[in-house]
Amino acid sequence: MKRFTETEKWGKTWFQELEPRLKCLWVYLCENCDRVGVWDANFRLASFQIGVPVAEKDLDALGNRLVRLGEDKLFIKNFIGFQYGELSTGCPAHKPVFRLMEKYHLEGLIDWAQSGYGRYLEKFSNRVSSNLSNRVSDTLKEKDKETDKEKEEDKKGCGEESEGSSKAKFKAAAEEIYQSYPRKIAKANALKAIAKVLASGREADWLLERVEAYAAAVAAQDPKFIPHPATWFNGGRFDDDPAEWGVSSQKNEPSAVGEALRLKEKRGAVDELFVEC
């Protein structure tokens, strides 16, 4: 999954003061959380993948940048604002984000998301559970001027000001999916077909994974037997059983090996005929 990363963190005092392994832990959390910034806490796996031991007690060094959700989940407080800016239920790319908010029973986020990340911080502390509210109410109300400035600069919503940005992301997603399809032909029609699928609510990341899996399944096939991309997407072939993708459409055509064997048999028959003569 692709996402934005804050390159300026390396110049910030709080990050510079972290031990190397804790710097790795912060980057790991930002890259392994889900679409809304929630990480299923698994310190054993994190230690294995980072390459050094990390534990729950190490979270103290990250300050108020994390919020605990229940016993086994952590929420990166500024993740949504940094990744999406202002959210809108009318933006297809934001629908999976709203679904995850509902999954974690954070409906308070949804009210905020339609109006702005800064206003969410005040609502969140009043709407989550009392236990969570007691833990984070003070830290959520604090105003970090530097963070606020960065959020204003990086906001990318789906309103009038960010409409062009959203269209550009949508177009880029369709282009990436097209480039991953194993046959490049009739690009304009293919992009229209892909856009239609995405507009129906299918997630770009999911569709890209299906296309890449299909490309791997037909890698050995002659490209002329692979459907045009527009045909494949319009036909909903991404919903097919992947086991069917590996079944070559050339099965009724003579294979190169078969032709070679038949030619050899014919030549052998001719040779025998001359011997008899």
Task: Indicate if 105 and 232 belong to the same structural domain.
Answer: no
User: What three-state secondary structure class fits 40?
Assistant: strand
Decide if 264 is inside a domain.
no
- Domain membership of residue 61 (yes or no) is yes
For the cut 80, the answer to whether the pLDDT of residue 73 exceeds it is yes
Decide which of 102, 127, 154 is a domain's last residue: 154
Selection from 114, 119, 31, 29 nearest residue 75 by Cα: 29
Confidence check: pLDDT of 65 > 80: yes
- How far does CA 34 lie from the centroid of its chain? 9
181-223, pLDDT tens digit by residue?
Answer: 999 999 999 999 999 999 998 999 999 999 999 998 998 889 8
* DSSP characters over 64-92: GGEEEETTTEEEETTHHHHHHSS--TT-G
pLDDT at 81: 78
- Read off the pLDDT of residues 25-46 as tens digits, 9 standing for 90 and up: 999 999 999 988 899 999 999 9
User: Is 15 in the same domain as 82?
Assistant: yes
Tell me the pLDDT tens digit for each residue of 122-173.
444 445 444 444 544 454 455 456 666 655 665 554 445 455 667 788 889 9
Domain count, the chain: 2
**Contact indicator for 151, 117 with CB cutoff of 8 Å:** yes
pLDDT value of position 253: 45
User: Of 154, 184, 203, which marks where a domain is finished?
Assistant: 154
Long-range Cβ pairs for the range 161-165 (8 Å, 24+): 162/85, 162/86
In a domain, residue 134? The reply is yes
Inform me whether the pLDDT recorded for 232 exceeds 90.
yes
- Residue 90 confidence (pLDDT): 80
Residues 130 and 182 in one domain: no
Q: Does 276 fall in a domain? A: no
On whether the CB atoms of residues 91 and 158 are closer than 8 A, the answer is: yes
Using the predicted structure, report yes or no on whether residue 268 has a pLDDT greater than 80: no
Shared-domain flag, residues 54 and 149? yes
Residue % of the chain over a pLDDT of 90: 38
**What's the pLDDT score for residue 57?**
93
pLDDT at 168: 82
Angle between helices 187-199 and 163-180 in degrees, nearest 10: 120
Q: Does residue 266 fall inside a structural domain?
A: no
To which residue do tokens 């550009």 refer?
A: 168
Residues 48 and 87 placed together within one structural domain of the fold: yes
Whether pLDDT at 66 is above 70:
yes
- Computed on alpha carbons and rounded to an integer, the radius of gyration of the chain in Å comes to 27
211 shares a domain with 135: no
- Model confidence band, residue 120 (pLDDT cutoffs 50, 70, 90): very low
Q: Is the pLDDT of residue 233 over 70?
A: yes
Q: What is the average pLDDT value for the chain, to the nearest integer?
A: 77
Residue with tokens 């490309």: 215
- Cβ proximity of 207 and 229 under 8 Å: no
Residue 198 domain flag: yes
Please report the pLDDT score of residue 19 as a whole number. Answer: 93
This prediction has a pTM of 0.42
Residue type at position 226: I
Q: What are phi and psi of 266, to 5 degrees?
A: -65, -45
Q: Indicate whether 262 belongs to any domain.
A: no
Do the beta carbons of residue 97 and residue 90 sit within 8 Å?
no
Same domain, 115 and 34: yes
pLDDT band at 91 (very low <50, low <70, confident <90, very high): confident
In angstroms, the Cα distances linking 227 to 164, 181, 242, 266 are 32, 10, 15, 34
Which residue range forms the structural domain that includes residue 132? 7-154
Residue 253 inside a domain? The answer is no
Residues 70 and 177 in one domain: no
CA–CA separation, 11 vs 7, rounded Å?
A: 8
Residues 192 and 148 in one domain: no
Q: Are residues 27 and 145 in the same domain?
A: yes
- pLDDT exceeds 60 at position 113: no
Same domain, 12 and 139: yes
Question: Is there a single domain that holds both residue 17 and residue 78?
Answer: yes
